Every structure is written in C-alpha cells, then in structure tokens.
DNA sequence: TCTGGGGTCCTAGGACCC
DNA sequence: TCTGGGGTCCTAGGACCC
C-alpha cells in the first residue's frame, strides 16, 4: 500500500500558521512579482477564483476587503515543508518526497489493519506540531492513492484519511472521478479522451488495453494499469537533478543590455550555487530571453542559446561567464524583455569530472573552486554577501514586486524577534 | 498598468551508419 | 518512369507534474 500525504492549500495554510486571523477567510497566495494566484483557501475557491488567475483580475476584491492576498514567501514554505516531511519520515519506514507539499509513504511491512490508524495519527500530529492540515489517500498504487486523497480532502466525513483497499471501493471511486482529475492525464489528453466518450476514470479502465495502447501509448497504459491496481509508476527518481534552471519575470520590461546582463549574471550565479549544493557540475549552459507574450502590440522574440563547456564546471565564474557569452549571442537591442533565465544541463558528478590531458590549467580550476567554496560559506545565510562584479548590486527584493509579503517567521532571527 | 517557476519523461523525425 | 532495408543516436517539442 501507498499513502499519499497532501498538504491542504499548502501555501495558504503556511500563511495561516503565523497569522491565525486568516483562518476562515478567503485567502490567495500570489506567484513571484505578485503575478497570478498559485494557492487558494477553500473560501477563495468557493468564490470561483481559479488557479493561475492573474492578480489584477481579483485586485478589486482585495481592495473591497473580500479577499486577502499574500505575496509568496518560499523561505517560509520550504521550512514548514521540511518540518512536515520529517514527521512523516519518523513514522513510516520509507517516504518519497514528491513535491513541496506532497509525499508518498511506502507502507511495506506495516500490518494492513494498522495503516489507517497510523495515517489518522499523522493527520493529527502534523496539524498539532506544525499547524498544517493534511489529507491522506491510501491505495495499492500511487495513482489510486492520489484519487483517495482527493476524497479525503473533499469530504469532511473521512477526517483526512481515505483508503481504497478493495475492488468495490476502487470502482466506486473511479466512477466518481472525472478522467481529467486523474494523475497523469492533463488537459490535452483529457480532451482527447472525452472525444472518445471517456468521461470518468471508470470509463477509461473499461477500455481494452490494446485500444489504450494504440491511442494513448506507453503513458496512457501506465495510468490504465495503475487505475486497475497494478503498480506501473516507478519508484522514486534519482536524488540528483538532470538539469537546473533559474529564471524570473521582471516587474518592468528591460531593453538595456547592461541591466539584462546583471540579471542573467545573478541567475547564472544561482545555478552555479545550486550545482555545488547538489554536488554536480554542468557540461552545458543555456540562456533564454522572453519578450512580453501578452503584449500583442509589441514585437516578440524568444531566443535561446546553449554553450558547451569544454570541461564540466560548477564554479560561479565559469557558469557566469558562459551565460554572459550566451547573452551576447542572442541579445537584440530593439526588443523589450520581460523574462530571462539560465539553465545548466548535462550534469555529471562534480567529483568525477573528466579533465583533458593537454593544455589545461588545473591551477586556475582549483582557484575558482576555492573561491566558490568561500562564496558559499559567506552566502550561507541566504543573503548575497559576496558576488561577482557582473552581478547586480542590491537585494533581489529591490526588483521584484511583492506587496503583501509575510515575514520569514520560522527562519529569520529578525522576524522571530519582530513576532515576539 | 497588471499574466510564475521549476522539473521529468516520451516520441517523432532527422542524421548518420552499414 | 524506375531509386533498399535496417539499425542507432540525438534533439526538439510536447505532454505531464507540482
């Protein structure tokens, strides 16, 4: 059996932990730059606010006092997430962290008749110790556990735990689940399935496997098997990422090359730091720019360029200088840019980098690695105490729109003192 | 005026090989 | 007019997830 633990309205719940006056109110959390709605309380869902709604479309409700908006505060969410995860990890033999607000628990070795009771205990403990409400779905496959967790979340009668442990319950649950809500079936596939007359998950599992394979290929087959109770979604992914990306939209559009370069330099430095944190090194650095895709009146340009590194690297200097080289190749002064990003790809283990035999300055490499190490130590507080001259001066908060930010209650000493 | 950020996997098709 | 058959590898783009 798998148990999927899903934090309810996670970002909103995090805000509520430290501002209990938000309890029972319509609350939304906004994306970077206060761009769009990325989390909603039950009350704001009931008001019809959809995921991804641009903030300006609900601004009037905020002004009228009917809706409370919070800028996103990922430091806070990340910290509360790790507290939730550590409680889960302490309770069951194995957990697979799936996202910031979800984890699969592997219930191997736990007597079947105790699973529900253990999960009910977890719901209470996480609520009491961290303050976050969670829902848990229990089932023989991950896809079914997801469905069970939806029921646990939707119907208060379950008290946060729903288990699918026999065929009767499974078929009942599938018949009540629209196919577009199934894990692994997105918008495009859902439309295609509905065109074939498939409305519920039960309709889908009723189709013969040959037909499913023909129309929805490998991916569709896996989902089909999972819904039929046969495990097909692999075990956890390897712990190291295959690519790392840092990108941001800008509060204002940018045309100036120097300004753009300093932003790209920041993104590159961030990628390099993430690489080192993970013990990886990159063989390729990609830079991309976006003009404002919502401005039909402006010329559009979405260039991207990749630079191969002769030797895999993770020093800030090397990643940054490649990124700026890339920027030079794609930058055109006649456009207004709204977003940029740096991606590092083809990652290898940092301690297994293949060095060339000839014409290679190993001393230079070591010096760069040393500098990066020192930078990491000095920057470990999360503030950019030291940076390369190509990077921006000043804090990131200077350039991001964030009108409703809560404090970093659980991680920043200043903010903790403020609360007291 | 104002529209997020970060990942993974799969497939089709092209390049290339014999 | 008529132009083989079979592989592998790589990449871009599309689909999905949160």
Predicted local distance difference test score (pLDDT) of residue A413: 66
pLDDT in tens, A266-319: 999 999 999 999 999 999 999 999 999 999 999 999 999 999 998 999 999 999
Return the CATH fold of A77-227. Alpha-Beta Plaits (3.30.70)
| CATH number of A10-71, picked from 1.10.1040.10, 3.40.20.10, 3.30.565.10, 3.40.1170.60 | 3.40.1170.60
Nucleotide with smallest C1' distance to residue A99 CA:
C18
pLDDT in tens, A48-64: 999 999 999 999 999 99
Domain A243-391: homologous superfamily in CATH: DNA polymerase, Y-family, little finger domain (3.30.1490.100)
Sequence spans of domains, chain A: 10-71, 77-227, 243-391
Residues facing residue A360 across a β-bridge:
none
pLDDT at A208 over 80: yes
B/e letters for A178-189, b = 16+ CB within 10 Å, e = fewer, are: ebbebbbbeeeb
Q: Are strands A280-291 and A337-349 parallel, antiparallel or unpaired?
A: antiparallel
A254 neighbors A260 (Cβ within 8 angstroms): yes
Closest CA to A203 of A188, A232, A182: A182
pLDDT band at A402 (very low <50, low <70, confident <90, very high): confident
Q: What phi and psi values does residue A333 have, to the nearest 5 degrees? A: -70, -15
The distance (Å) linking the CA of A395 with the C1' of C9 is 45
User: What percent of chain A clears pLDDT 90, i.e. is strictly above it?
Assistant: 84
Locate A230 and state its tokens: 């046969």
**Extended beta strands in A100-236, E state:** 102-106, 134-139, 161-163
The distance (Å) linking the CA of A296 with the C1' of B8 is 32
pLDDT band at A420 (very low <50, low <70, confident <90, very high): very low
- Spell out which residues of A between 145 and 164 contact strand C, using CB within 7 Å: 146
A103 neighbors A97 (Cβ within 8 angstroms): yes
pLDDT at A27 over 70: yes
The distance (Å) linking the CA of A150 with the C1' of C2 is 64
pLDDT in tens, A124-162: 999 999 999 999 999 999 999 999 999 999 999 999 999
In chain A, the N- to C-terminal Cα span, in Å, equals 44
Over range A186-190, report the average pLDDT. Answer: 93
Phi-psi region of A83 (alpha: psi -120 to 50; beta: other; left: phi over 0): alpha
Nucleotide with smallest C1' distance to residue A102 CA:
C18
DSSP notation for A208-243: -HHHHHHHHHHHHHHHHHHHTT---S-SPPPSS-S-
Q: Which residues have CB atoms below 7 Å from chain B, the nucleic strand?
A: A 31-33, 35-36, 38, 52, 54-56, 59, 217-219, 237, 241-249, 251, 253, 274, 292, 294-295, 338-339, 341, 343
pLDDT at A417 over 60: no
pLDDT at A415 over 70: no
């Amino acid at each position: 059996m798998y148990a999927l633990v899903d934090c309810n309205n996670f970002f909103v719940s995090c805000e509520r932990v430290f501002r209990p006056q938000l309890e029972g109110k319509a609350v939304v959390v906004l994306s970077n730059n206060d761009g769009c709605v990325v989390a909603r309380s039950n009350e704001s869902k009931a008001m019809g606010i959809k995921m991804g709604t641009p903030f300006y479309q609900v601004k009037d409700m905020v002004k009228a006092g009917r809706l409370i908006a919070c800028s996103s505060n990922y430091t806070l969410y990340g910290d509360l997430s790790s507290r939730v995860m550590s409680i889960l990890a302490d309770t069951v033999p194995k957990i697979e962290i799936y996202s910031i607000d979800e984890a699969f628990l592997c219930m191997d070795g736990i007597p079947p008749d105790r699973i529900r009771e253990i999960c009910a205990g977890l719901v209470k403990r996480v609520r009491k110790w961290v303050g976050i409400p969670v829902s848990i779905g229990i089932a023989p496959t991950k896809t079914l556990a997801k469905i069970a967790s939806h029921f646990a979340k939707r119907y208060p009668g379950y008290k946060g735990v729903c288990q699918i442990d026999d065929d009767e319950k499974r078929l009942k649950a599938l018949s009540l689940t629209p196919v577009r809500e199934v894990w692994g079936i997105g918008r495009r596939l859902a439309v295609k399935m509905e065109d074939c007359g498939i409305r519920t998950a039960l309709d889908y599992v009723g189709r013969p496997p040959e037909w499913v394979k023909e129309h929805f290929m490998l991916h569709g087959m896996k989902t089909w098997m999972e819904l039929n109770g046969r495990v097909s979604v692999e075990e956890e992914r390897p712990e190291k990422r295959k690519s790392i990306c840092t990108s941001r939209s800008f509060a204002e559009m940018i045309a100036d090359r120097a300004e753009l370069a300093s932003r790209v330099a920041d993104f590159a430095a961030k990628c390099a730091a993430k690489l080192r944190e993970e013990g990886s090194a990159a063989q390729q650095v990609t830079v991309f720019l976006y003009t404002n895709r919502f401005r039909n009146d402006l010329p559009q340009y979405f260039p991207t360029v990749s630079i191969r590194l002769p030797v895999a690297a993770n020093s800030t200097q090397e990643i940054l200088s490649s990124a700026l080289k890339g920027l030079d190749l794609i930058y055109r002064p006649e456009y207004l840019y709204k977003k940029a990003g740096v991606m590092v790809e083809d990652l290898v283990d940092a301690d297994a980098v293949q060095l060339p035999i000839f014409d290679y300055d190993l001393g230079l490499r070591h010096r760069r690695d040393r500098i990066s190490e020192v930078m990491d130590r000095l920057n470990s507080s999360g503030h950019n105490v030291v940076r390369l001259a190509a990077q921006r001066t000043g804090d990131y908060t200077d350039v991001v729109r964030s009108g409703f930010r809560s404090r970093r209650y659980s991680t920043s000493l200043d903010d903790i003192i403020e609360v007291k």
